[in-house]
Structure 1
Amino acid sequence: MTHSSTAGTVKADDDAPVQRQTTAGGVCTLTLNRPAQYNALSDDVLTALSDALSSVHDDPDTRCVVLSANGRAFCAGHDLKELRSTEDPDRHRATFERCSTVMQQILALPVPVIARVQGLATAAGCQLVATADLAVAADNARFAVSGINAGLFCSTPAVALSRNIATKRAFEMLVTGEFIDAATARDWGLVNRVVAPDDLDEAVTALTQQICAKSSYAIRRGKALFYHQLEEPLSAAYTRASAAISADLSSADAREGIDAFIDKRAPVWRDA
């Protein structure tokens, strides 16, 4: 991926399947760039997205990632034409394993990932929204795991969806293929905020600014702890969390943050 620097911003090649743009404030935007195909996740897109996530993971200056898309749709899921172009089950398995790797990379990133959703988010596109740590949607966005309409149960999207919303709601979406609107997605816990389409960028920026104003050290440590403890029994989760917060109390940022609170002043983060 070719990058050029302009006015504190690093931008990706306009023709790349996934564009990357990083601001001086540490917000990295990864933009799906197949608008004519409703940003369907072809193998090329998945490979580019995986490479971009790997690069972001190793960048200490990144504070937050925004997952965006060009065009009318956020993401229509997997590229069905590409999947039907071969009968090779090994090729199919490789595609879905690549997609599953991408989803796990998002969760493994040390910084928050925000899905910026406009238009449709279906099947693996809905999976992307469910996998992101946070999601802001335009009020005209619509969500579905609609593979069942094509004779295919959305097995991999079900993994992320069932970890976001109640079991019966997730299963109903999976077996009916019906769409839900943005307001319902917010009520069910699939997205955090819903705004008018013209306000979408402003809402995402406001959220990234809130995150970037906090201690990067605390955010990075906190995200890792959050997902680890979710998979553990209650006692083990508390043991892990107690050890984490005890260790974090000795960090420079925690000492500064507590002193600033006591002194009634704004903290100056040291990120350590």
Structure 2
Amino acid sequence: MSAASPSHDANAPLVLRDDRDGVATLTLNRPHARNALSVGLMGALQDALETVHEDRSVRAVVLAGAGPGFCAGHDLKEIRANPTEASHEALFAQCAKLMLTISRVRQPVIAKVHGIATAAGCQLVATCDLAYCADNARFATPGVNIGLFCSTPMVALTRAVGRKAAMEMLLLGDMIDAEEAERIGLVNRAVPIDQLDEVVDGVAGKIASKSPLTLAVGKEAFYRQIDLDVEAAYAYAARVMTENMMARDAAEGIDAFIGKRAPVWCGQ
């Protein structure tokens, strides 16, 4: 959560996009406010993700933050400027839609975290398919400290880390460091800050080398099966795998493996 400063360039894009070799990097661009999730920023990120979803040239997405931190959560000054129930309801519905979109876009989404990721910023990290952080990163769900339990961040957090670790973060509201975030599974790996770009670029590049159809099939299947009981999950996964086997990319990949050559993906 951030009590945002009003000093900023009103003409600057709220989300920056940079595409390279099948990887789209989306950078939250409210550095003066530690990239607090204003209504405008959430809308801009929603639009960017929907555009990326339809872009078949993009095979992986990196979500980053400009300035000294990744994301400080919701913009508390904006929230207090319109303290109506309808406004709050609309804000959290918008945030939920954004988080669901991250899970539903066809490409894997990788969080690249430096500095702080707190409240809804921590929710962003927990929601992304993969997350890598610099050793200076700090994470918290500190709403309990100001009388506002982090209930919506809790949804993503409890699906990313163990139950006891999630409750400790939610009930205490304390910062945890990068090493602890890695230990509990909030991030895949914590690395020295001067290696963060290299590590994320390597992961994103490796993902982008795969069949875009296979990535989309696998991501959708992962989130659909995870809340099923084990018998239903196996039945669903067997159907998905059967359909996947009929795809041209699956035939190409198997033939390439047998022929000891690099596959040429067509995305079908």
Q: Give the TM-score range, shorter chain.
A: over 0.9
For structure 2, the 5+ residue unaligned runs are: 1-9
Instruction: Provide the rounded CA distance (Å) in 2 between the counterparts of 1:33 and 1:112.
Output: 21
Residues 233-242 or 110-119, more deviating: 233-242
TM (normalized to structure 1)?
0.93
Amino acid at match of 1:27: V
The answer to whether the aligner puts 1:134 opposite 2:130 as a matched pair is yes
Please point out which of 225, 231, 256 is paired with 1:235. 231
1:182 corresponds in structure 2 to 178
The answer to whether the aligner puts 1:20 opposite 2:14 as a matched pair is no
Q: Structure 1 residue 121: deviation in Å?
A: 0.3
Per-residue deviation, residues 85-143 of structure 1 (Å, max 9, x unmatched)? 12211001111110110000000001100000000000000000000000010011010
Alignment of 1:13-162 (within 5 A): 15-23=12-20, 25-162=21-158
Alignment of 1:219-230 (within 5 A): 219-230=215-226
Amino acid at match of 1:17: L
Distance 1:14 1:32, change over 3 A: farther
The answer to whether the aligner puts 1:253 opposite 2:249 as a matched pair is yes
1:209 corresponds in structure 2 to 205
Instruction: Provide the rounded CA distance (Å) in 1 between the counterparts of 2:113 and 2:142.
Output: 17
Instruction: Provide the rounded CA distance (Å) in 2 between the counterparts of 1:26 and 1:269.
Output: 13
Instruction: Provide the rounded CA distance (Å) in 1 between the counterparts of 2:124 and 2:164.
Output: 20
Amino acid at match of 1:120: I
Per-residue deviation, residues 191-232 of structure 1 (Å, max 9, x unmatched)? 112111111111110001110111111111110011000121
Instruction: Provide the rounded CA distance (Å) in 2 between the counterparts of 1:87 and 1:257.
Output: 55
Instruction: Provide the rounded CA distance (Å) in 1 between the counterparts of 2:204 and 2:156.
Output: 23
The answer to whether the aligner puts 1:200 opposite 2:196 as a matched pair is yes
2:259 corresponds in structure 1 to 263
1:10 corresponds in structure 2 to none
TM (normalized to structure 2)?
0.94
What's the % identity of the aligned pairs? 51
Amino acid at match of 2:39: D
Instruction: Provide the rounded CA distance (Å) in 2 between the counterparts of 1:191 and 1:222.
Output: 20
Amino acid at match of 1:163: R
| SS at 1:238 equivalent | helix
Q: Structure 1 residue 158: deviation in Å?
A: 0.1
Q: Structure 1 residue 179: deviation in Å?
A: 1.1
| Aligned residues: CA RMSD | 1.2
Residues 96-105 or 229-238, more deviating: 229-238
Q: Structure 1 residue 14: deviation in Å?
A: 7.9
Q: Structure 1 residue 270: deviation in Å?
A: 2.2
1:7 corresponds in structure 2 to none
Instruction: Provide the rounded CA distance (Å) in 1 between the counterparts of 2:218 and 2:90.
Output: 32
Amino acid at match of 2:55: D
Per-residue deviation, residues 64-101 of structure 1 (Å, max 9, x unmatched)? 11101101110000001111112211001111110110
Q: Structure 1 residue 168: deviation in Å?
A: 1.0
Per-residue deviation, residues 120-178 of structure 1 (Å, max 9, x unmatched)? 00000000000000001001101000111111100000000000111111011001001
Q: Structure 1 residue 265: deviation in Å?
A: 2.0
Higher-RCO chain (CA-CA 8 Å, sequence separation at least 6): 2
Instruction: Provide the rounded CA distance (Å) in 2 between the counterparts of 1:255 and 1:51.
Output: 35
